[in-house]
Structure formats: C-alpha cells, structure tokens
Structure 1
Amino acid sequence: MSIYLIRHTAPLIEKGTCYGQADIDIKDSFFDEAAIIKTVIPVEFRQVWSSPLQRCRKLAEHLFPTCPINLERKLKEINCGEWELQKWDDIPSHIIDPWMKDYVNVRIPGGENYIDVYDRAVDSFLNIASGETPVAIVTHGGVIRSILAHITGTPLLDSFKAFAIHYGCVIRVSRNADGFIHEVLSNIPTSKEQHKPSPK
C-alpha cells in the first residue's frame, strides 16, 4: 500500500501575501520543479486525487496525463477568509494576534482554523487509503502536514516544527501492522516562503 503525497510547485504570488484557497497560478519554474517530482514517483498509479485549485490540478494533469484526475474539495488549503490575498504585514495586529497565538483553534475571520483543515484532510486521506493503490494525492502544505500529524500522532501545534513541507515535496505513506509510516522522497527548498507577518 503506497500513497504519494505531493505538494504543488511554487505559486505565482508575491512573497509575504496571505493565500489559502485563492486560485493562484504557477511560476515559470513549474516544469523544472515537476521534473524533480517525476524522478521519485512510479510510472503508473491506480488513482490520482487532487485539490481543485489550479496550482495542484495543473501539476496533477502534467504528472499523470493518461490518468483521470479526481478533484476533491477536502484537499484544498486552509480557507483564509477575509485575509485572502492581503499582505500579512497589512493585517492589523489586533485582528491577527489571536490567530497567531492559537491558530489551531482560532478561526481566520470568514475562514478556517487548523482543526478544520485537519478534520477534512484526514477524512479524505482515510477514504482514499481504503481504495486501490498506488495512489497519488496532489495537494497543499497544510493538508500534507495534517495527514502526517494524524499518522504520527503529532499534536497540531507541533506539526510545523515537525514537518518541513517545501514546494514540490513528495512523501510516500505506507501501511504496516501498527498503522501508517512515511518516507520523504524529495523535499528541496526552492524559494523562501512567508506565511505570517514579518518579525517586529
């Protein structure tokens, strides 16, 4: 049983911009990044699942041109609600501070918290894992981190430190007698990311 978790390649967006479910396109480096992914995944898959956002869908279609792509809304990144496409540094501190202090439980205004992402991501993963494999899941950093937190028993609050998920990351999940194990196949830092306000 093998499930390949694949994070999308670098998105076409200015560093320091808050984005989650905004449907952002991909950078010109897409083909180079996708070529690296191809070196660590099998040639054939029984099924392919993808977030419907284009930065994932385009990668899935490129990697698996002969395989039908199952688009799954539960595999979307966190919903950033009112903060979508705002600069992190432009969000007033009195609004963002409660979330920064407890992003696991505090919801972004009009959006989600980390538990919301975790619940839907794990539900989708377990459903996919019950089917035929090998299977590929092309998705986002928050979703992959949620799945890894689930299979390793890592508290959500500790998951960002526990799992570095760079653009184009590929992780293989397998089942053993005790549950699931994972192996990082590729995780090359390609560009510096910023998903919070700049330090003051």
Structure 2
Amino acid sequence: MEVYLVRHTETVCEKGICYGQSDVPIAAPYLEIFESIKKQLPQDAIVYSSPLVRCSQLASYLSNTIIKDDRLMEMNFGNWEMKNWDAISPDEFTPWMNDFVNVSVPNGESFVELYNRVNDFLENDFQHNTSKAVVIVAHAGVIRSILCKISGLPLKDAFNNKVGFGAVIKIVL
C-alpha cells in the first residue's frame, strides 16, 4: 500500500520559536505550494490529518473528506510552547537535548511518548487493508517517528530523517 507522508508548509512563527502543539497558522502565500503538493499525490487517496490548522488547512485543500486524529499532532513542548529556543533555561534544556528520546519537556512529552501515540494510530486505527493510497498530513516529529518505525532507525537518530516544510515522502507498507 502506498502511503504519502506530507509535512505542513511554513508557519507564521519566526525562526527559533518552539511551537509544537500550539495552533499557529501557515504563512501566506500558500495556494501555489498546496497545488504543487496536490500534484504529487493520488486523487482518490484516504487523507488523515493532524487537527492543528497548519495541517488540516492543507489536508482540506487535498480532499473534501479528511480524518483528523489527535495522535498525529506534533510533540507537546509543554512549558516551552511559543518560547524562543534560546530563552529556555539550560537547566531544563540540557537534559532534554542529551536524551530527547526519553526525557520529557516540563509539562510536555518526550519523543518516545510521541512515537508511542503515532504507533498506536498506525497499529489500531490506520486503514491497512485498502486498495486506495493513504495521505498523512502531519508534522516533522510525527513523520520522523513513522520513518524510524518503518526503517528500524533508532529514535535517537530520528533527525537523520530530513523533513522540510511541504515535503512529500512516499513509502510502501
């Protein structure tokens, strides 16, 4: 089965802002980018999306019928949401940077927690037995976790998976 992993386009946030599960809008103009993404995808695919507007807006452009799932949301950065990365206390930031896989952000989650919820979606609610292609519109963290799962890449190496804004990555499950 063909699965297309699609990352949302750029947001209005300045570079250096941690916005994880904050519901920030995408930057305009975007219709030309949306159209370019759409041309890379099958027309009759089943479309899943994170409920955050930066994904659901793109998903709605791609299909009239989308399935939103909270498990496809970006990592919860808790106390760090909408802060500049440079403004995060080294006492909090350093332990997480040393082991982002297992260390949770204060009042947020760790990468393994994100991985587990995405894996729950893939194993329990994802339509595996379909003749149609599937499109998942999500965030870099979600896409990286899926790529780690299918390739067997250790989670600590997740950032080896490059996932730019508006990226379309085709995989076969």
Query: Which residue does 2:154 correspond to in 1?
Result: 155
Q: Distance in 2 between matches of 1:35 and 1:70?
A: 20
- Unmatched tracts of structure 2, length 5 or more: none
Q: Distance in 2 between matches of 1:17 and 1:31?
A: 24
What SS is found at the alignment partner of 1:70? strand
What SS is found at the alignment partner of 1:49? strand
Greater length-normalized contact order (CA 8 Å, ≥ 6 residues apart): 2
Query: Which residue does 1:139 correspond to in 2?
Result: 138
For 1:1-200, list aligned pairs within 5 A: 1-45=1-45, 47-64=46-63, 66=64, 68-126=65-123, 127-132=125-130, 133-161=132-160, 163-175=161-173
Given that 1:10 and 1:29 are in contact with CA atoms closer than 8 Å, whether structure 2 keeps it comes out as no
Q: Distance in 2 between matches of 1:159 and 1:93?
A: 23
Aligned length: 171
Given that 1:2 and 1:172 are in contact with CA atoms closer than 8 Å, whether structure 2 keeps it comes out as yes
TM-score of the two chains, using structure 1 as the length reference: 0.82
Given that 1:23 and 1:54 are in contact with CA atoms closer than 8 Å, whether structure 2 keeps it comes out as yes
* Residue identity matched to 2:27: K
What SS is found at the alignment partner of 2:83? coil
Q: Distance in 2 between matches of 1:109 and 1:23?
A: 19
TM-score of the two chains, using structure 2 as the length reference: 0.94
Deviations 1:77-114 (A, max 9, x none): 00000100011111111121110111000000000000
- Unmatched tracts of structure 1, length 5 or more: 176-200
Deviations 1:16-53 (A, max 9, x none): 101100000010132122122122111211x2110000
Pair 1:131–1:50, CA change in 2 (3 A):
farther
What SS is found at the alignment partner of 2:92? helix
What SS is found at the alignment partner of 1:128? coil
What SS is found at the alignment partner of 1:96? helix
Q: State the percentage of identical aligned residues.
A: 42
